[in-house]
Structure formats: C-alpha cells, structure tokens
Chains A and B, each alone.
Chain A
C-alpha cells in the first residue's frame, strides 16, 4: 500500500456510504430486521447480589394473554459449555450478582413480555455479599496476566532505591470510578432456530462488534458447529461493550428454543445494560515518580488495583501504559484484583490506557509543578529514544511533535500559574496530557474479492459500529484494486462472509484493511487487470515483516481550556485540541469524527461519568441516562482534532495505526490538569464534580 496510486481514494474525505440509509431510517439494525411472526423477550433479573433461588412462581405470567413461554433455570436447555460463567445463565439456582439474567418472558409484544415479567414471583435464600473495592482487609489477588495477554507485573532496575535518592518525588493515588459503556443503540439480539437436515440451525441478528466472535462463542456454548450464522449490518455504537457476546445473547437463544421456531427479539433496556453488558472496572492507581532536580525521571512506579467478578476474571491493563511512556531507568508496574459479587467487567473504550493514563499524566503534571517546569518541557526531557520496555525502536512516535504542534495552535504560552487567571466570574486554566494506544493488528482475517459485470465484490465479515468501516474499507479496496470507488461493492457484518477479527482495540481498519489490500494484490496476480466474469480470490491478513522488530503505538497530545465558576465551581470546557500521530489517515472526515468522539468520551470521563454501586443491594443506583451523565451538546465547546502526516510503514502494510481509542486516552488528565491550573485544586478522584472543587 506504500505505492499508492495517484488517483487514490484513501486520504480523501468521502462521506459515509451508509449515511443516507441511516438518516432516512432505512438502515435495518439487528432488532429491526423484518422477520415474520417474531416474538419478544423481556429478561428476568436477580434482585439479590448473592444466593440461591428457592422458589419461582410463574403461573400469573403464564396465564397472561399473549405470553408464549416463561424461561427459567427449570426449563432452560443445558448448555454444552458452561466454563464462561458470565454466559452460563439459567443452568441452576445460584445467583452471582444483582441483576444477573435468571430467565425471561417470551410474548407476542414487548409490552406484554415486560408486564408478564413483573408478575413472576421469585424467592431467594440470600448469602452475604461483598461489592467493595476499597477494602480494609486488603484482600486482593494477582492475576496470571492482564488484558489481553500482558504480564501482570514488571520490575526493571531498582525502583525503591531510586525513590529513596530522588530530588523530587510525587507519590499520589488516583481513582477512577466504575463506568458504563452507553452506546446510543442498546444491545439487541434476535435468535431464530430453524429445522435443518443435519439438526436445527441458528441465526442470530445481533448488535455486535464481531459477528464471527459471537458465532464462535454461541457455537461453543450451545455445542453447535457450522449451523450458526450471525448477521449484524449496522451497529449504533459499542465502545467495547459489544466486542464480545454477553449473557443476553445466550438468553435470546435459550428463549427462542421455547418459542416453537418463531424468531425471538430482545432489546436490552438502558437500565439492564448497567448489570449485564459489561463496564469499566473502578481503578485505584498509586503513582510514584522519582526525578532529579532537572525533572528527569529516575523511577516510575505504577501500582493498580481493580475489581472483577467472582464468577469471571477480567483483569484490565491499567498500568501497562507506564511501561512504555517515559524513559525512566527504573520502572515497576503491578496489577491486583479484588474478586467481588459484582457484574462482570469488560472492555470499555481504551480499557487500561484510559484510566491508567489519567493517573500517569496527572502525576506527570504534578511532577512538572513540583520541579517548576512547564509540563511539555518535562515530557520532552523524559522522551525515550527507544521503547523502554522492549528496547526496540519506535515504529513512529512523534509525541514531541504532537506536543509542540498543539502548544503552538492552542496558544499554550498564555498559560498562567495555577489559580492565578480570572475572567469575570470564571477561573481559567490550560492543561495538557499525552495520549498513547498500542497499534494492534489482529491476525486471521480473510477477504474475498470477486469480479462480475465491471464490479468488484469485496467480502469480509467485518463490522461498522458507526466508525466508518463501510466507507474506509471501500476506499482501501478501490485503491488496492486501482479502480474507482463506484465499482466496489463491500459486504460486511455477516458470518456468511469470510472470517474477520473484532472491531476492537482500534485494530479494525489496520487488520481488515491490510487483509483487503492482500486480497486485491492476490486477485490482480491471479486474474490480471482484465479479469474474467466470476473471477474470485481470497487472501488472509499477511504478517508484516517489520512488526516484530518495532514498538508500534499511536501517540497524541490533548490540550484543554477549563473554566471554573468562582462561586458554584461548575466546570466548563470551552476549548479542546487533540494532535495525534496515528499513521495513515484513511478518511479524514470519519477519522475526525472518531477522534473528537474519543475526546468527548474523555471529557465525559473527566467530568461526568460515575456508576454508583450501592453496596447494600449490589446494584448501580444511577442506572439511566438521566442520572448517569454523558455530555450534552452544551458541554462541548470548540473541539478540534488534527493529526501529523506520518504513515507508519513499520506498523502494518496499510501504515494506519487505529484511531478509535487514542482520542479518549489523554483527555481526562488534560481536563484534570486544566482544572488544577485554573483553581490550584488537584482532583485525584474522577469525575471532577463541583463538590470536589468547593473550598
């Protein structure tokens, strides 16, 4: 792909190909698939945090007109594989967390199903539960590895000796709360069992970031093989919560087994999402930064504590960013988990990096303050020539260029001392933080290219969760085939298409794009520039020869202006700027959308988002969008995202490093640092709400 054709589509701001269908309401999302005779499912959820179901009386529900079936552990089919206990629902009477799916009602309408579900009486024998991460007994454990496959701990040099000899030491603890992915489209799943010659077949219409991932998991759980098809043409956001199947998928399939062959549609409610579709673990990060008097780091120590569910481990990589960001000779990182009676945590946009970099980049700002240095200068003094962890050269870092470019554009030189700038009733401050995210590519994707009647069919089971995959992959295919966009017919979102990896870890375009490029080359090699009717070629994602020799990450710098009202301590963010180094940008329009979306997400994490877990009951109290705040339009002022033009030839064949997550990562610390600059108050416990700034 490095030899781009002059008339290339990649790099142009093409409008979303799927835009008109979405705006006109013609894009059929999973739940809207036109299926005849569909029935509707409403889940039953446990109302205790730990214990056993002792009685279920579903007579009133079953007697309700329009009810087709009531699913509970008494009549659910036995799953073939119950090792993943998040998914092994309705297999027994045990309850592992409040809100766990313990059954459901299938009815002629959604309203009947919901009403009948409220008529099911369930008794429990409760056991004591424990949902507190902040523990007096310190009962935590060390996981074998952290997401996805990183070492749990690292220890290089002698951190504690360096800390003991430091001229300047920052030793602070930063906390982020439990947070929930809230894509606009809640999770939906439609299950259809059909009789087949070799046993029944299962089709699932699902809102997912990975049709092949859902297919593989459901096939395993239900002991099926090739008889499972998953379809997901459009997805209204996921942010990681649709990266892997959750219990609701299993519930829909189990319920459909009781529906006599009718399709069963499930739309998880917003409230239910707070229990069953994943969330970001709360994190407690202790940062110790030791430096000499010039602000050069001598030690960097990041100890993270998180929670997981007692029934399933998810160990977030909170501290891995501290392994590679700065050139400290002595570095130590640890991850510890508390296993609690809580819903199962999972991926939420930049799991690990988002909370971890809030902690690290806040601490770096504190160190700059302690050293009397500008925080940009401090970062430049600690810029590593090579990846400090692996010793490998960077595939392309450019963090200093991001910082310098941003400082110039943002007017960083107007930054005053902490708590010294006031305009009217507002305290004004500027803040900066660095951003980073690994340049993942995931092996295994396959693309198929076929030719007929002057058109090229490009087939790959990828996903578009609103990010622009439809458009960007079509652009990549057009260039790789050296044909205009109009001749490309892309198909994604169906397991009848060749295997594709998850749209997660900001890896989608790099992985699928490289695969499409490989398939296009193979197609031309096989069929030439003038292919026969029906010519078809497949190719798998190639291994990039440089990949093992370079440390490949995206980087960025986020600049924020914060205004804090002198009396009410309300925080407003009138200006944000992100400058990113993310390799080749395939489509500037959709890229900008993703980057400012990520920055908005980061602002939201800084100022608003907090799932309040009521430890008496074990549930999230503020489980709707009236109480769990995400930004309104009025919260976002002038927001700008830009990027350096540095295609990363060492990262992958496409030179693109992924943009889904880099926008969020640096933003929370940039906001917190700007609030500190405005007020002199350092908030080390997100979100930064007015009460935390009241004198």
Chain B
C-alpha cells in the first residue's frame, strides 16, 4: 500500500475542488472496493478524499413522482427502503443480490456505481493489464474468462462491471446527478459506464473530479419487475449472468419490456434488441409454446450481438461461451415468471 493523505470532505464543492487540484486523488465511499485496491497496489492515490460525511444521505420523493437517492445512502438501507421495496422491487432485489450483508452496510450508492470493473488479472499487479497499465496487454485474452464479457469487449479488455444495482438502474432508466468543476449535470445510467474500446482504463464517462451526488429514478411504471442473478454459489458471488427485467402487459399484449443484463459486459448491458422484439407481442397463456418461442426469439435477438470467448476444452481457458446459453435460459425464465399470473412463485431462483 502506497502511503497517502486522507482528508474528510465537508461539502460537495470542496470535495470536487480537492480532487480537481490533485491528479492523483481518489474519492473514498464505503471503501469496499478502493481499500482492496489500495492493499493490492492496484490503486495508488496520494490523496484520498473521504466523501461519506457529505450531506447526501437522503432518499426523497421527487416532484415528478420519482425518487432521488443520495450518493452516500448505504446499499443495505436502500434495499430496505419501503418505497424502493414497493415501487422498485427490481432495484431492491438487485441490491440484495449483491455482495454480503456487511459489505452492503458499508457500500454507498455512488460507490457501488463507481466500483471498478472486475478481472482477476486487473487485481494482480504481477500480470499485464491494459486497464491498470495502459499498453501492457490484456492477460484475460487467452486466459481465465469465466467471469468475463460476452458483449462489447475489445481486444484490450474483457472485464465486466460487477454491480447488480447498476443493472437494475439501467433497466429503470435512472439518471445520475454529477457535480463537476463546471457545475452540475445529469447522465443516464446507461451512458455512465463505457465499453472498453482501446481505453479500458476508463470505466465511466466521468472526468477526474466529477462527484456523483445522487441517483434519480423516474416515477414507477407499475409493470411487474424482478432481478435474477445466476452465480456459482447461492450468495456472495459475482454474477455469471444476471437479468433485470420489467414487463408491462396490457390486454394480453406486451406494451413495454425493459431488460438489462449484468455480468456480461464492461457496463450494465441494456438489451434494447430483446426489448424491441417483445414490444407488441401477444402473450397467450393458453399457448405456452408460442409464448416460450416469443421469449426465445427476444433472447436470441440480443444474443446475436454476443461475442463470447472460446477456449480449449480441458484447458484452464475454457472460455465463456456457456454464458450465451445460460443468459438465454435465464432471460426466458425471468420473462416466463413475469408473465405468469402469480409472479414471484419462482423467485427462489435468486434465493439468497
């Protein structure tokens, strides 16, 4: 761990000013990601600005009927918030699917969004990584890719964004409020995170010094929604794949579907092609085969974009082609659940 100076920010503008003056500075939220990276030598700031004391800890109704979530609201509190549980169950479930109780107590809303993408090689300073050291190469290429991207990866980076919460926020069309040196601006969550391209060191579109002060949710749609996470153990594991979905059905016809995937890309992956394929589809409970086919078609419309990593059978580089089939099955399973009369019956699929 490189020695650093720790400063506690009193107000948001001071925090932004501090960071703007120090190119080597980092914000500290709950510390559930940054502290690991400090220990591992992955992050080496000389100044750490603690923003947990900023007055950004409220969850409030907004004028348009939506919800404004302060940046420092802990994940555990947000998941348990009665309005979130009632009006945005997908978000509550996504939060509870993430990490462990202890981590959710510490982790903040903004910090969750700004956790770094995950990759074993990124976290190991003895292996090359373009994200950690631009130009050094990507060890995941030809390496261990079980938890890596199948959408939107580049030759320089295969890492995925690990947040569950962000996947739900992407599906909910949430917006982040950002305070920068030039003032406040709003960015849709779906545009906050980047695909790696040839700049994998940049996880988001934020500039140095930008501070997320809140997340805003639009008014609840009333559509049935859920979050399903598939992982290698029942709890406290990153997603192999996850699906946030809502299905707004009117008179037996899909009016609107909102779908986002987690664990499959450098950012929460909003599945617009699958959404478009579902819009206007008639769901006939008496013809489950046709319904199943419609769900499969929607999944395949999105998965046609997938470019999973192949691997040699029996080698450690088994690749992640299995995630295509797993994601297809998971999405179909979720859509079946949401379209069923008594939805929730199958929520054991995300049992914690």
**Nearest opposing residue in chain B for A613, CB measure:** B316
CB contact under 8 A between A615 and B316, given known A115-B1, A118-B41, A690-B326: yes
Residues of chain B at the chain A interface (Cβ within 8 Å): 1-3, 39, 41, 100, 120-121, 123-127, 139, 142-144, 147, 228, 230-238, 240, 314-316, 322, 325-326, 329-330, 332-333, 345-346, 348-349, 351-352
Instruction: Indicate if the CB atoms of A568 and B333 lie closer than 8 Å.
Output: yes
**Nearest opposing residue in chain B for A64, CB measure:** B3
Which residues of A lie under 8 Å from residue B348 when comparing CB positions? 424-426
Q: CB of A111 within 8 A of chain B?
A: yes
Complexed CA–CA distance, A627 and B333 (Å): 26
Which residues of A lie under 8 Å from residue B2 when comparing CB positions? 115, 118
Residues of chain A from 623 to 640 with CB closer than 8 A to chain B in the complex: 623-624, 626-627, 629, 631-635
Which residues of A lie under 8 Å from residue B41 when comparing CB positions? 118
A500, chain B: closest CB distance, angstroms: 37
Complexed CA–CA distance, A607 and B237 (Å): 13
Complexed CA–CA distance, A690 and B141 (Å): 23
Complexed CA–CA distance, A32 and B166 (Å): 41
Complexed CA–CA distance, A691 and B121 (Å): 22
B246, chain A: closest CB distance, angstroms: 19
CB contact under 8 A between A425 and B333, given known A565-B349, A612-B316: yes
**Nearest opposing residue in chain B for A633, CB measure:** B235
Instruction: Indicate if the CB atoms of A621 and B1 lie closer than 8 Å.
Output: no
**Nearest opposing residue in chain A for B127, CB measure:** A617
Q: CB of A108 within 8 A of chain B?
A: no
Residues of chain A from 327 to 348 with CB closer than 8 A to chain B in the complex: none
Instruction: Indicate if the CB atoms of A634 and B234 lie closer than 8 Å.
Output: yes
Instruction: Indicate if the CB atoms of A632 and B234 lie closer than 8 Å.
Output: yes
A657, chain B: closest CB distance, angstroms: 32
Q: CB of A616 within 8 A of chain B?
A: yes
Q: How large is the interface on A (under 10, 10 to 19, 20 to 34, 35 or more residues)?
A: 35 or more
Instruction: Indicate if the CB atoms of B144 and A572 lie closer than 8 Å.
Output: no
Q: CB of A676 within 8 A of chain B?
A: no
Q: CB of A608 within 8 A of chain B?
A: yes
Instruction: Indicate if the CB atoms of A570 and B236 lie closer than 8 Å.
Output: no
Q: CB of A198 within 8 A of chain B?
A: no
Instruction: Indicate if the CB atoms of B351 and A572 lie closer than 8 Å.
Output: yes
B97, chain A: closest CB distance, angstroms: 11
Greatest chain B CB density within 10 A among A47, A114, A627, A689 is at A627
Complexed CA–CA distance, A608 and B232 (Å): 7
Complexed CA–CA distance, A594 and B100 (Å): 25
| Cβ-neighbour of A568 out of B3, B233, B235, B326 (below 8 A) | B326
A171, chain B: closest CB distance, angstroms: 19
Q: CB of A589 within 8 A of chain B?
A: no
Q: 11 new A-B pairs (CB below 8 Å) besides A424-B345, A425-B346?
A: A115-B3, A118-B2, A134-B315, A568-B349, A569-B329, A612-B144, A613-B316, A627-B147, A691-B322, A691-B326, A694-B329
**Nearest opposing residue in chain A for B330, CB measure:** A568
Q: CB of A650 within 8 A of chain B?
A: no
CB contact under 8 A between A632 and B143, given known A612-B316, A694-B329: no
Greatest chain B CB density within 10 A among A570, A624, A631 is at A570
**Nearest opposing residue in chain A for B147, CB measure:** A627
B32, chain A: closest CB distance, angstroms: 11
Which residues of B lie under 8 Å from residue A694 when comparing CB positions? 322, 325-326, 329
Complexed CA–CA distance, A425 and B314 (Å): 31
Residues of chain A from 392 to 423 with CB closer than 8 A to chain B in the complex: none
**Nearest opposing residue in chain B for A565, CB measure:** B349
- Interchain residue pairs with CB less than 8 A apart (7): A45-B126, A134-B314, A615-B315, A616-B143, A623-B124, A626-B237, A690-B232
Complexed CA–CA distance, A634 and B2 (Å): 37
Instruction: Indicate if the CB atoms of B230 and A690 lie closer than 8 Å.
Output: yes
Q: CB of A546 within 8 A of chain B?
A: no
Instruction: Indicate if the CB atoms of A629 and B322 lie closer than 8 Å.
Output: no
| Chain A 552-590 interface mask (CB, 8 Å, partner B; 1/0) | 000000000000011111101000000000000000000
Residues of chain A from 594 to 630 with CB closer than 8 A to chain B in the complex: 607-608, 612-617, 619, 621-624, 626-627, 629
Instruction: Indicate if the CB atoms of B233 and A690 lie closer than 8 Å.
Output: no
Complexed CA–CA distance, A184 and B237 (Å): 18
Complexed CA–CA distance, A134 and B315 (Å): 8
**Nearest opposing residue in chain A for B331, CB measure:** A567
Say whether chain B's binding surface is mostly helix, strand, loop, or mixed: loop
Complexed CA–CA distance, A663 and B345 (Å): 35
Which residues of A lie under 8 Å from residue B142 when comparing CB positions? 616
Instruction: Indicate if the CB atoms of B316 and A614 lie closer than 8 Å.
Output: yes
**Nearest opposing residue in chain B for A631, CB measure:** B233
B124, chain A: closest CB distance, angstroms: 8
| Cβ-neighbour of B233 out of A45, A114, A622, A629 (below 8 A) | A629
**Nearest opposing residue in chain B for A622, CB measure:** B120
Instruction: Indicate if the CB atoms of B326 and A635 lie closer than 8 Å.
Output: no
Which residues of B lie under 8 Å from residue A619 when comparing CB positions? 124, 126-127
Which residues of B lie under 8 Å from residue A633 when comparing CB positions? 235
Q: Enumerate the 4 nearest inter-chain pairs by beta-carbon distance, A residue then B residue, closest first.
A: A567-B333, A691-B322, A634-B235, A634-B234
Which residues of B lie under 8 Å from residue A425 when comparing CB positions? 333, 346, 348-349
**Nearest opposing residue in chain A for B320, CB measure:** A691
**Nearest opposing residue in chain B for A570, CB measure:** B230
Complexed CA–CA distance, A47 and B127 (Å): 9
Greatest chain B CB density within 10 A among A616, A623, A690 is at A690
Instruction: Indicate if the CB atoms of A621 and B120 lie closer than 8 Å.
Output: yes
A121, chain B: closest CB distance, angstroms: 13
Complexed CA–CA distance, A689 and B241 (Å): 13
**Nearest opposing residue in chain A for B345, CB measure:** A424
Which residues of A lie under 8 Å from residue B143 when comparing CB positions? 614, 616, 621
Which residues of B lie under 8 Å from residue A568 when comparing CB positions? 228, 230, 326, 329-330, 333, 349
Instruction: Indicate if the CB atoms of A635 and B235 lie closer than 8 Å.
Output: yes
Greatest chain B CB density within 10 A among A114, A565, A608, A621 is at A621
Which residues of A lie under 8 Å from residue B1 when comparing CB positions? 111, 114-115
Instruction: Indicate if the CB atoms of B126 and A635 lie closer than 8 Å.
Output: no
Instruction: Indicate if the CB atoms of A635 and B329 lie closer than 8 Å.
Output: no
Which residues of A lie under 8 Å from residue B230 when comparing CB positions? 568, 570, 690
A114, chain B: closest CB distance, angstroms: 6
Complexed CA–CA distance, A271 and B39 (Å): 12
Complexed CA–CA distance, A566 and B329 (Å): 9
Greatest chain A CB density within 10 A among B125, B126, B139 is at B126
Greatest chain A CB density within 10 A among B123, B233, B326, B330 is at B233
Which residues of B lie under 8 Å from residue A635 when comparing CB positions? 233-235
Instruction: Indicate if the CB atoms of A572 and B326 lie closer than 8 Å.
Output: no
A278, chain B: closest CB distance, angstroms: 20
Greatest chain B CB density within 10 A among A567, A624, A691 is at A567
Instruction: Indicate if the CB atoms of B144 and A614 lie closer than 8 Å.
Output: yes
Instruction: Indicate if the CB atoms of B120 and A627 lie closer than 8 Å.
Output: yes
Complexed CA–CA distance, A364 and B47 (Å): 62
Which residues of B lie under 8 Å from residue A631 when comparing CB positions? 233
Complexed CA–CA distance, A393 and B123 (Å): 56
**Nearest opposing residue in chain A for B162, CB measure:** A626
Complexed CA–CA distance, A566 and B121 (Å): 33
Instruction: Indicate if the CB atoms of B144 and A632 lie closer than 8 Å.
Output: no
Instruction: Indicate if the CB atoms of A424 and B316 lie closer than 8 Å.
Output: no
Which residues of A lie under 8 Å from residue B326 when comparing CB positions? 568-569, 690-691, 694
Which residues of B lie under 8 Å from residue A608 when comparing CB positions? 232-233
B161, chain A: closest CB distance, angstroms: 15
Instruction: Indicate if the CB atoms of A607 and B329 lie closer than 8 Å.
Output: no
Complexed CA–CA distance, A459 and B45 (Å): 53
A66, chain B: closest CB distance, angstroms: 10
| Cβ-neighbour of A572 out of B121, B234, B329 (below 8 A) | B234
Instruction: Indicate if the CB atoms of A629 and B237 lie closer than 8 Å.
Output: yes
Which residues of B lie under 8 Å from residue A632 when comparing CB positions? 100, 233-237
Which residues of A lie under 8 Å from residue B332 when comparing CB positions? 567
A370, chain B: closest CB distance, angstroms: 25
Complexed CA–CA distance, A115 and B44 (Å): 11
Complexed CA–CA distance, A624 and B120 (Å): 9
Complexed CA–CA distance, A111 and B4 (Å): 12
B240, chain A: closest CB distance, angstroms: 7
Which residues of B lie under 8 Å from residue A118 when comparing CB positions? 2, 41, 125
A194, chain B: closest CB distance, angstroms: 31
